[in-house]
Amino acid sequence: MGYRSEVSFTFVLTDVNKFVSLLKLKKTSEEYDLMTHFLEHMYIEKIDDVEYLHFHVEDWKWYSDCEALYLNLIEMGRDFDENFSASFARIGEDTDDIETSTWGADPPDGPYVQVHMELNFNKDKLEPIETKEEVA
């Protein structure tokens, strides 16, 4: 933590617009700048009767004050909506610096972390190693 990360979370709330209004009121506190930056990266999505609040950033300096504000948002969500749920994912610069968590009885499916390997060679153009011995 404290270096560049990709961070994403999704909240499920019964009234996302009202919750966002509460977050905007929080901008007047000591966390003004950080809350403003959080809000600049939040998006609302409505699918059928479900309302989502998404947050996603890349190359973000995720310091302890970011984590504290995020956990504060979780508490606000729990206080705001008895059916609140959330999913969180953060990938840091180090290969073992991956953090995921969920809250609530029915957390949303994403974000999630998928780790995969990319090759810097084309396997189709390589000569395979023969493992069978030739008999003379």
The amino acid occupying position 24 is K
Residue 104, sorted as left (phi over 0), alpha (psi -120 to 50) or beta, turns out to be left
49-58: pLDDT as tens digits: 999 999 999 9
Residue 59, sorted as left (phi over 0), alpha (psi -120 to 50) or beta, turns out to be left
96-115: pLDDT as tens digits: 899 999 999 889 987 878 77
In the chain, where the domains are located:
4-125
Residue 120 DSSP symbol: S
pLDDT of residue 82 exceeding 90, the answer is yes
Which pLDDT score is estimated for 135? 67
State which H helix or E strand residue 65 sits in: helix 64-80
Which pLDDT score is estimated for 30? 59
The residue ranking higher by pLDDT, 49 or 117, is 49
| Residues 87-99, mean pLDDT to the nearest whole number | 91
Instruction: Select the CATH number that applies to the domain covering 4-125 from these four: 3.30.420, 1.20.120, 3.30.70, 1.10.1760.
Output: 3.30.70
- For residues 115 and 97, the answer to whether their CB atoms sit within 8 Å is no
**Structure tokens belonging to residue 10:** 């999704």
10-51: pLDDT as tens digits: 999 999 999 999 998 877 555 557 888 899 999 999 999 999
Phi, psi of 107 (to 5 degrees): -65, 150
